């Protein structure tokens, strides 16, 4: 019998008919070179999950080939065709790469909600040029002052003159931690100078994502997407949109390059001026993978916490309705914090000639293009 260390292997190719019609699996041993691969009978395998994944991968490949003409195993059902074997090996390697990426994302994130990764659609692995961050990353020459100069001295921020009142706006949340102000109204949360504690009801966005989310591969050509794994109540904070903070001039240059590649990651910080833009193409968090929809379930709000510079609001995404577990999260790439449709919102720098990107959101109200 094979030792218990067998649990650390992953099978690559199946069915090599040897004697007495016994099925054998070619085993790649974890931590050992390919030269040590061995053929093992089914009775030696103590890895039901890997065997099930193997079977699923084989079935998925066969189902992707039209009518199975190219690989129909009528004449020889004892061995795998090379194309199937190659696919299964690639799928196994992809699964390992995605698991490592998932582990890395959860090491880097600083919020409560867990991040999962799933691809049951194709062989695409983790993005090669994406770096997970939890807050804005200023480009060279840009300074982000993240220390408030004053704070409240409330004992109960619901009933006293708190930070929002000092800014001339209403407190954004009700006692159920749901947003109660209309789009376009800024959110002023309590900051590091405030005397209220971490349980203050006016500290929501700063606590980060509370929900477990899954980055998944879409099946209709929209690349990666994000779905929630738990139910999200309406008007609840879901996530921030973070990335590299750049000037509007740099955004115009990058925007033309992104248009030609058909990607959309620029978000203009135009709450009060248009000096800065957030670029989430290389640096970002889970929001990097959230797709556009012309009928979205997330809404944009401008948020001020420690940095009260109105040119540099934080961008928070709140649910517009109840979102059920397993449902994809989306927001309108043309939606500003004011709630208005704008041609100068996400990925819409003022370049004169734009390459129009076709929208694939599938909504009844779809406008046809992202820009």
Residues 138, 186, single domain; the answer is yes
The pairing of beta strand 266-269 with beta strand 115-118: unpaired
The answer on 310 and 237 residing in a single domain is: yes
241 is annotated as an active-site residue: yes
Is residue 349 one of the residues assigned to a domain? no
Position 210 in a domain: yes
Catalytic pick from 24, 61, 136, 241?
A: 241
32 belongs to an annotated ligand binding site? no
Interatomic CA distance for residues 350 and 292, integer angstroms = 20
90 and 189, same domain (yes or no): no
Domain shared by 212 and 296, yes or no: yes
81 is in an annotated binding site: no
Three-class secondary structure of residue 178 per DSSP = strand
Any domain includes 359 = no
d(CA 58, CA 77): 13
Number of domains in the chain: 2
Final residue belonging to a domain, choices 299, 314, 331:
331
CA distance 114 to 95: 18
Nearest to 280 by CA among 354, 341, 357, 224: 224
Residues 158 and 297 in one domain: yes
Please give the structure tokens belonging to residue 185: 């109204």
What's the chain's length in residues? 371
Residues 96 and 129 in one domain: no
Instruction: Give which of 213, 219, 217, 215 is closest to 360, Cα–Cα.
Output: 219
pLDDT of residue 290: 97
Which of the following is catalytic: 132, 271, 283, 333? 333
CATH of residue 213's domain is 2.170.270.10
pLDDT at position 194 is 95
The answer as to whether 108 is a domain residue is no
Are both 182 and 326 inside the same structural domain? yes
Is the domain of 53 the same as that of 129? Answer: no
Tokens at 53, concatenated: 């994944």
Q: Does residue 344 lie in a domain region?
A: no
Residue 99 sits in a domain whose CATH number is 2.40.50.40
Residues with pLDDT less than 70, the chain: 1-21, 66-79, 336-355, 371
Please check if 223 is assigned to a binding site: yes
Reference 242, options 146, 178, 368, 171; nearest CA is 146
My answer on whether 137 and 271 are in the same domain is yes
Q: Using the CB atoms, write b or e for 176-191: b if 16+ within 10 Å.
A: eebbebebebbbbbbb
Does 359 show up as a binding residue in the annotation? Answer: yes
Residue 357 lies in a domain: no
292 in a known ligand binding site: yes
pLDDT digits (tens, 9 = 90+) for 114-159: 999 999 999 999 999 999 999 999 999 999 877 888 899 999 999 9
Active-site residue, 369 included: no
- The answer to whether 17 is annotated as binding is no
Please list, in sequence order, all residues whose beta carbon lies within 8 angstroms of the beta carbon of residue 120, skipping any fewer than 6 positions away.
60, 217
Say if 164 falls within a structural domain.
Answer: yes
214 is in an annotated binding site: no
This prediction's pTM: 0.84
Helices 82-108 and 48-64 cross at an angle (nearest 10°) of 120
Whether 157 and 261 share a structural domain:
yes
Look at strands 291-292 and 330-331 and give their pairing. parallel
Q: Which letter does DSSP use for residue 341 in this model?
A: B
Tell me what pLDDT residue 300 has: 96
In which domain, by residue range, is 19 found?
13-67+79-103
For residues 99 and 121, membership in a common domain is answered with no
Residue 6 is assigned to a structural domain of this protein = no
Q: What distance in Å separates the CA atoms of residue 238 and residue 271, rounded to the nearest whole number?
A: 20
Q: Is 291 annotated as a binding residue?
A: yes
Q: How far apart are CA 171 and CA 152, in angstroms?
A: 13
Same domain, 243 and 295: yes
Is 162 annotated to bind a ligand? Reply is: yes
């Amino acid at each position: 019998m094979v030792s218990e260390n067998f649990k650390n292997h992953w099978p690559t190719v199946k069915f090599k008919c040897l004697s007495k019609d016994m099925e054998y699996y070619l085993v790649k041993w974890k931590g050992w070179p390919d030269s040590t691969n061995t053929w093992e009978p089914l009775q030696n395998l103590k890895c039901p999950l890997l065997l099930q994944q193997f079977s699923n991968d084989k079935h998925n490949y066969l189902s992707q080939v039209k009518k199975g003409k190219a690989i129909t195993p009528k004449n020889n059902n004892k061995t795998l065709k090379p194309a199937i074997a190659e696919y299964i090996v690639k799928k196994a390697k992809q699964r390992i790469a995605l698991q490592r990426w998932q582990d890395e994302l959860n090491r880097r994130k600083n919020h409560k909600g867990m991040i999962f990764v799933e691809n049951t659609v194709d062989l695409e692995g983790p993005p090669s040029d994406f770096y997970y961050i939890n807050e804005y990353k200023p480009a060279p020459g840009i300074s982000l002052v993240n220390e408030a100069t004053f704070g409240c001295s409330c004992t109960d921020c619901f009933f006293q003159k708190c930070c929002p009142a000092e800014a001339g706006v209403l407190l954004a949340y009700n006692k159920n931690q749901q947003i109660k102000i209309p789009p376009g109204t800024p959110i002023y949360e309590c900051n590091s100078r405030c005397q209220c504690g971490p349980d203050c009801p006016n500290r929501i966005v700063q606590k980060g994502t509370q929900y477990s989310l899954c980055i998944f591969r879409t099946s209709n050509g929209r690349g990666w997407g994000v779905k929630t794994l738990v139910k999200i109540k309406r008007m609840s904070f879901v996530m921030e949109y973070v990335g590299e903070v750049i000037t509007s001039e740099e955004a115009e240059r990058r925007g033309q390059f992104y248009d030609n590649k058909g990607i959309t990651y620029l978000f203009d910080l135009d709450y009060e001026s248009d000096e800065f833009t957030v670029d989430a193409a290389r640096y970002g968090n889970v929001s990097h993978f959230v797709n556009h929809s012309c009928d979205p379930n997330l809404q944009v709000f401008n948020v001020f916490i420690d940095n009260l510079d109105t040119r540099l609001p934080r961008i928070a995404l709140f649910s517009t309705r109840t979102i059920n577990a397993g449902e994809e999260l989306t927001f309108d790439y043309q939606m500003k914090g004011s709630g208005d449709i704008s041609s100068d919102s996400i990925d819409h720098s003022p370049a004169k000639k734009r390459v129009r990107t076709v929208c694939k959101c599938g909504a009844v109200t779809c406008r046809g293009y992202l820009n």
